[in-house]
Amino acid sequence: MAHTDPGRQRDETDETQAAMLEALFTSSPIGLHLLDTELRVVRVNTTTPAMRGLPVADLVGRPIEDVYDIVEAGEMEGLLREVLDTGVPLRERIVRAFLRGDPWQEHHFEVTALRLDSPRGEVLGLAVTAIDVTERERGRARVRVLDAVRRRVGRTLDPVVTGEEFVGAVVPAFADIAVVEVVDAVIRGDDPPLAPLPPGTPLMRTAFRSSNPHPPQAHPVGDVRRLPSPTPFTQALTDLRPRVVSLRPAEAWMPVDVPRAEAMRSSEAHTLLVVPMALRDAALGLVSLYRVGQSPPFDEGDRQLAVELAAHTTLCIDNARRFVREHAIAATVQRQLLPRLPETHASLETAYLSVTGADPGAWYDTIALSSARTALVVGNVAGQGLNTAATMGQLRTVVRSLAAFDLAPDELLARLHDTAAELAAERANLPIGDPLRREALSADCVYAVHDPLTGTCAMAAAGHLAPLVVRPDRIVAVPDTPFGPRLGTDEDAPFAAVTFRVPDGSVLVFTSDPLLTTYLADFSQPLRAAPDYADRPLQELCDALVYELPDSLGAGDAAVIVARTRSFAAEEFASWRLESEAAAVATARNRTRKQLAAWDVDDETAFNTQVIVSELVTNAVRYGAPPIELRLIHDRNLTCEVRDTGTAAPHLRHARTVDEGGRGLFIAAQLAQAWGTRYTTGGKTVWTEQALPPRQG
């Protein structure tokens, strides 16, 4: 049996290990470094990234920070010394560094450091491996930038904000400077022009960001101007192709656009990547990215990534453009559907206010009713766009139509709820492909009627809307309003009305947004100083309310009515209790004649009024129930009212030639410009209105 010589075996092992080490230090694709305890290079393999064709003697004996221009040199030295001190390996640490002879290109190395100990336990130094993972890290960085743009860009439907989101996502992660310029017509919602972009088309600079805290700019953000031609910018908008442009040395096109060229020089930009924002052969704008100083130039991979970033941003800007256009149309429709001026009586001064004016579903209205009363309406249809504005117009028209029937607030909202339910059913029956079918119809509305003769306000609400009442003693209160179901929903709860007192000099505020109502009730100084506004125009009070609203309120766009109550002059109305007998007709006519003379009403109107009073009182005596009351109101119109406790509904009849009666209400309707019947829990009131000439002074 042969015996192996231990000495020979050790020699063969040593030779094998030496051969392996020699192979590693001459052929391994991984950078190998042996460092002593002072972190000086003892040996490196010939393929290490630091060599780049340099003689090994130029590196041996030099500190590691001299071999590589490490970005975080101090931090890396501390980590290596920690390995020397503790013996705990440093594994797969990503280190950024520049190589000698390649100062433009930042490299990424995956570094592992192991401590070398002798058999006697002495620390000999470190074995350091460095793998160039630059392309891998670049790929990861590009993925992070693309993900950031997709997450952060397009969160709003504002083309200007979209540009700001874009530059915030790419600087400094992808570029040192980023500029977004959008065709000015696109900002306004118009269709983008087809490429090539017509010469002289103005662009707005919507966003700019630089890693330099005090960057030079060719033009300020918000500036609208035409691009000088020819430049890489105009060329990109001509053929819709991106370009990587070296800015060193100066390019021949730079004298054409001196402000940009000067800004590039001042910022030390060396590479420009210009990408058109294009969609379906139409040019929406331009993205300009710059690398400055020690940043590496843009390469082909960067160009491809920039195209993806610009494509996403372009879609977001186009969506914003479409929204702006639809909103502009909806806002135009809304303005045409809303009243221009509020209905104002001598006893109720009103003003309209639209907070931001961006909600096409919000509406307000004041409606002059009989007997010097005024209806105040505020509502809001959920949704955006033209269909919402159209639905708002439909509901407002229905409210005005129902108000003409002198319905109580709760009854009016009940009928409005039925109409909204029919509109919702029509929407639900639209073709499956119609996007409006998927938008449920719902709306809030508050309807109130102010009566200056009783100093009260009767009100009902659909949804959680309620007014504020600011009394002359500065107390701000929200009436205890029973909220009914939202209009158009499946809720079938009844509506309830509430009546509350409104002292003379009070201020009423109706809003279409509950958050705004809550804020004004708790924090509004102008409202709490309401007595100070006794003689101040209401529109100034509206402005004061807007000025104090904080940006952080979180309230949506709102329609607001601000109203101030005034006392109704006692000498401008009169009322008499009448007996339920035939003689009451003559009594009513005589009292009417005297009162109209005191009001200096012209003879023709006075005669017609006496005829009307005679017919209305006759009907009440014959068909009504006592007690009977006659009331005259001298306001913008002359109102005659006859009240009784009967519930029988009077109706207009066309009497035949041989009939001796039956023409009373017909005659009254012919002499008056308007008439109607108003029901209360205690009976009914038949009223007429006659026009009066405008008062002098």
DSSP annotation string for 238-287: HH---EEEE-SS--TTGGGSHHHHHHHHHHTEEEEEEEEEEETTEEEEEE
- In a 3-state reduction of DSSP, which class is residue 629? strand
Q: With a cut of 50, say whether residue 124 has pLDDT above it.
A: yes
DSSP state of 158: -
**Domain 22-132 matches domain 570-691 at the CATH topology level:** no
Among 100-104, 280-284, 439-443, 603-607, the least confident range:
100-104
What pLDDT, on the 0 to 100 scale, is given for residue 134? 81
297 Cα distance to chain centroid? 39
Give the pLDDT of residue 61. Answer: 81
Report residue 566 as tokens. Answer: 């005034």
Question: Is the pLDDT at 651 greater than 70, yes or no?
Answer: no
Check if the beta carbon of residue 104 is closer than 8 Å to that of residue 78.
no
Does residue 198 register a pLDDT over 70? Answer: yes
* CATH superfamily of domain region 22-132: PAS domain (3.30.450.20)
The pLDDT, as a whole number, for residue 327 is: 75
Let me know: does 330 contact 324? Beta carbons within 8 Å. no
Place of tokens 């990534």: 305
For residues 617-637, average pLDDT: 88
* Percentage of the residues of the chain whose pLDDT score is greater than 90: 33
Domain 338-565: give its CATH superfamily: PPM-type phosphatase domain (3.60.40.10)
- Residue 118 or residue 169, greater confidence: 169
Residue 662 pLDDT exceeds 50 = no
pTM: 0.66
pLDDT at 2 over 60: no
Q: How far, CA to CA in Å, does 649 sit from each of 146, 356, 404, 645, 683? A: 73, 46, 16, 11, 10
Say what the pLDDT of residue 220 is. 93
Cβ pair 392, 379 in contact under 8 A:
yes
Q: What is the pLDDT of residue 435?
A: 73
What pLDDT score does 660 carry? Answer: 40
Superfamily of 570-691 according to CATH: Histidine kinase-like ATPase, C-terminal domain (3.30.565.10)
Nearest to 191 by CA among 311, 316, 283, 276: 283
User: Can you tell me which residue has the tokens 């819709």?
Assistant: 240
Task: For residue 199, name the pLDDT band (cuts at 50, 70, 90).
Answer: confident
- CA 673 → CA 407, 611, 616, distances in Å? 19, 14, 15
Per cent of the chain over pLDDT 70 is: 88
Angle between helices 134-152 and 159-170 (to 10 degrees): 160
Q: Give Cα 646 distance to the centre of its chain.
A: 54
pLDDT greater than 90 at residue 675: no
Q: Which of 646, 694, 619, 382 is nearest to 513 (CA)?
A: 382
Q: Is the pLDDT of residue 56 over 90?
A: no
Give pLDDT, residue 652: 57
Contact 500, 469 (CB under 8 A): yes
Structure tokens at 258: 């001196």
Out of 8-22, 37-51, 382-396, 415-429, give the one with best mean pLDDT.
415-429
Write the pLDDT tens digit of every residue in 141-187.
889 999 999 999 988 888 999 999 999 999 999 999 999 999 999 99
The pLDDT tens digits for 552-603 are 665 557 888 999 988 888 888 899 998 888 888 999 999 999 999 999 999 8
The whole-number pLDDT of residue 174 equals 94
What pLDDT shows up at residue 52?
54
Q: For residues 588 and 630, is the Cβ–Cβ distance under 8 A?
A: yes
- What pLDDT, on a 0 to 100 scale, did the predictor assign at position 554? 58
Rounded distance, CA 130 to CA 109, Å?
6
pLDDT at 402: 93
Tell me phi and psi for residue 128, to 5 degrees: -120, 130
Which range, 42-56, 273-287, 319-333, 627-641, has the best average confidence (pLDDT)?
273-287
Rounded mean pLDDT, 638-659 = 69
- Is it the case that residue 667 has pLDDT exceeding 50? yes
pLDDT attached to residue 107: 80
- Give the HSE-up count for residue 176: Cα atoms under 13 Å, Cβ half-sphere: 21
Task: List beta partners, residue 292.
Answer: 269
Please list, in sequence order, all residues whose beta carbon lies within 8 angstroms of the beta carbon of residue 615, skipping any fewer than 6 positions away: 664, 665, 667, 668
User: 69: how many CB neighbours lie within 10 A of its CB?
Assistant: 17
Q: Are 581 and 622 in contact (CB under 8 A)?
A: no
- Across the beta sheet with 476-477, what order do the strands follow? 348-355, 558-565, 507-511, 468-470, 476-477
pLDDT tens for residues 234-256? 999 999 999 999 988 878 889 99
Check pLDDT > 60 for residue 267: yes
Q: Rounded distance, CA 437 to CA 555, Å? A: 27
Cα separations in angstroms, 264 against 158, 178, 250, 260, 532? 29, 12, 10, 6, 58
Average model confidence (pLDDT) across the chain: 84
* Domain boundaries along the sequence of the chain: 22-132, 138-327, 338-565, 570-691
d(CA 563, CA 110): 72
Instruction: Please state which CATH number belongs to domain 138-327.
Output: 3.30.450.40
Q: What are phi and psi of 683, to 5 degrees?
A: 140, -135
| Cα angle: 293, vertex 160, 264; to 5 degrees | 20
Query: Where does the pLDDT of residue 49 fall: very low under 50, low under 70, confident under 90, or very high at 90 and above?
Result: low
- Give the residue-averaged pLDDT of 483-510: 89
Q: 360: cis peptide before it, omega within 30°?
A: no
- The pLDDT of 408-434, averaged and rounded, is 89
Is 215 a residue whose pLDDT tops 80?
yes
Residue 329: how many CB atoms within 10 A of its CB?
15
Residue 25: per-residue pLDDT: 64
